Amino acid sequence: MSIFVDESTRVIVLGLTGSQGRFHGLRNRDYGTKVVAGVTPGKGGQDVEGIPVYDTVAQALSREGADAAFVVVPPRAASEAILDCAAAGVGLVVCITEHIPAKDEALVAARLRREFPRTRLIGPNCPGVISPGRCNIGITAGDIALGGGPVGIVSRSGTLTYQALHELSRKGIGQTTCVGIGGDPVPGTTFVDVLEAFQADEETQAVMMIGEIGGDGEERAADYIAAHMTKPVVAYIAGVTAPEGRRMGHAGAIVSGSKGTAKAKIEALVGAGVVVGQNPTEAGELMVDVVRRLKDARS
């Protein structure tokens, strides 16, 4: 099994006719993802290497039967694109666009909760979601992922998402699904959302969680893990040496006083029974030990 996407997922790409949309959309298709259509207003009737392009999301869905969308459009158009997908009935929207104003993100999140609760948004400003060997929506390089489980990955940091995949794959540990939720202040999908999905997934036996300074998402995750997770979690929190009050990297990575510090997040996770690595490589090694113990317990 996997979460959110699998080999049956049918994807439309908003912005397929643009340079970035074309590059990543075709890359996803080459990986094996069912990219069935593109959407660019005013360019309906065209195609991109055989992928038909429609003027609207509604047209693409009615004619191609898609159930997921990949949004690769400029910041000024991203909010409307996400809401167009939701209004048309898309169940999963992956938005990689960065530099969307926080106010716009908050408005989109509120409208999704209020008007379109059946639509899940991953992102914005994220690498996307990949179920290795099954489906890849976003900008993650498929060749660094290894299928077959048993580990699920959830990460705020794009770069560290890739490193987590690489660390596990080079150690021969497969992944069920890797979800990059993005580091903006108002993510469409949170750590807790993904942890809930992994907890319910029979194939996922352990979870690697990559966090960073800023916000309280990791502390909320710690609360959920302590109360509900029966599967082992290994974590790494970036930003231990970050100075207080300075924004580091993502828009959401700002520390104020003791709130949002790496130290506070690590303490919360350790208190919830999570094993925390001091760096990404150590986190990978800790997961090797976890997987080995799981195998021993079954034998």
Q: Check pLDDT > 70 for residue 67.
A: yes
Is the separation of the CB atoms in 25 and 52 below 8 Å?
no
Q: Check pLDDT > 60 for residue 258.
A: no
261 band by pLDDT with thresholds 50, 70 and 90:
confident
> Which position among 24, 99, 166, 250 bears the catalytic label?
250
pLDDT at 299: 76
Q: Check pLDDT > 80 for residue 251.
A: no
Structure tokens at 279: 């760096």
Q: Which domains does the chain have, with CATH numbers?
A: 10-122 (3.40.50.720), 141-298 (3.40.50.261)
24 counts as catalytic: no
Backbone angles phi and psi of 22, in degrees to 5? -65, -50
Give the mean model confidence (pLDDT) for residues 207-229.
95
186 band by pLDDT with thresholds 50, 70 and 90:
very high
Q: Which stretch of DSSP H or E encloses residue 107?
A: helix 102-115
Give the mean model confidence (pLDDT) for residues 152-179.
95
pLDDT, tens digit (0-9, with 9 covering 90-100), for 84-136: 999 999 999 999 999 999 999 999 999 999 999 999 999 999 999 999 999 99
Give the mean model confidence (pLDDT) for residues 252-256.
51
Q: For the chain, what percent of residues have pLDDT higher than 90?
A: 86
252 band by pLDDT with thresholds 50, 70 and 90:
low
pTM for the model: 0.93
pLDDT at 248: 54
Q: What is the DSSP string of 242-276?
A: PPTT-B-SSTT-B-BTTBT-HHHHHHHHHHTT-EE
Please list the alpha-helical segments (H only) found in 130-279.
158-170, 191-200, 217-228, 262-271
pLDDT at 249: 56
Q: Tell me how far apart the alpha carbons of residues 212 and 217 are, in angstroms, rounded to a whole number.
A: 9
Q: Check pLDDT > 80 for residue 22.
A: yes
Q: Which of 8-12, 45-49, 131-135, 155-159 has the lowest mean pLDDT?
A: 155-159
Give the mean model confidence (pLDDT) for residues 236-260.
62
18 band by pLDDT with thresholds 50, 70 and 90:
very high
pLDDT at 256: 47
Q: Which of 35-39, 234-238, 251-255, 259-263 has the lowest mean pLDDT?
A: 251-255
